[in-house]
């Protein structure tokens, strides 16, 4: 079983950009300890704005802090909740055709919030990963 997980990690981290199934595979791996997977998830946060990285970035936001054993700063957790609510509004609650202008405005807000939020989480996780590698965490 561990050999299969190790092979899965090796396959995932070699993909740039990640395959569209990478997010699901990372979710299945859960907390399987892998420094290379942690670094790859961190890379996805750094590359969140690039084509092909968005789905894995969302998985990194959800799993990397736990994998690294950190709690995000309270302001970051609050902004993540705001992002989730805005995501729901834009893609599940709003009638795009009836509220076209509002939809575009909220969609732009969502993209801006995601960009800054993924960067915040990247900074916090990068610091934790560096501390772990230096043995100070």
Q: What is the mean pLDDT of residues 119-129?
A: 96
Question: Which conformational region is residue 86 in: left (phi greater than 0), alpha (psi within -120 to 50 degrees), or beta?
Answer: alpha
123 alpha-carbon distance from chain centroid? 12
Q: Quick check: pTM over 0.75?
A: yes
Residue 53's domain comprises 2-134
Three-state SS annotation for the chain? CHHHHHHHHHHHHCCCCCCCCHHHHHHHHCCCCCHHHHHHHHHHHHCCCCCCCHHHHHHHHHHHHHHHCCCCCHHHHHHHHHHHHHHHHHHHHCCCCCCHHHHHHHHHHHHHHHHHHHHHHHHHHHHHHHHHHHCCC
> Is the distance from CB of 124 to CB of 80 less than 8 angstroms?
no
Whole-number pLDDT of residue 55: 85
* Burial 96-109, CB ≥16 within 10 A → b, else e: eeeeeeebeebbee
Whole-number pLDDT of residue 2: 60
Q: How many domains does the chain have?
A: 1
pLDDT digits (tens, 9 = 90+) for 37-91: 999 999 999 998 899 998 899 899 989 999 999 999 999 999 999 999 999 999 9
Burial of 6 (0-12, 13-18, 19+ CB in 10 A): middle
pLDDT digits (tens, 9 = 90+) for 87-112: 999 999 999 899 999 999 999 999 99
For residue 137, name the pLDDT band (cuts at 50, 70, 90): low
Whole-number pLDDT of residue 40: 96
For residue 136, name the pLDDT band (cuts at 50, 70, 90): low
């Amino acid at each position: 079983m561990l050999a299969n997980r190790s092979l899965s990690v090796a396959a995932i981290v070699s993909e740039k950009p990640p395959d569209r199934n990478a997010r699901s595979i990372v979710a299945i791996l859960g907390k399987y300890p892998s420094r290379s997977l942690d670094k790859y998830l961190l890379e996805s946060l750094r590359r969140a704005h690039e084509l092909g990285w968005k789905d894995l970035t969302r998985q990194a936001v959800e799993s990397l802090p736990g994998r690294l054993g950190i709690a995000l700063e309270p302001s970051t957790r609050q902004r993540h909740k705001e992002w989730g609510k805005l995501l729901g509004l834009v893609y599940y609650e709003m009638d795009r055709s009836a509220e076209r202008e509002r939809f575009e405005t909220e969609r732009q807000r969502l993209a801006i919030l995601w960009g800054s939020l993924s960067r915040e989480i990247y900074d916090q996780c990068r610091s934790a990963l560096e501390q772990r590698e230096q043995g100070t965490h």
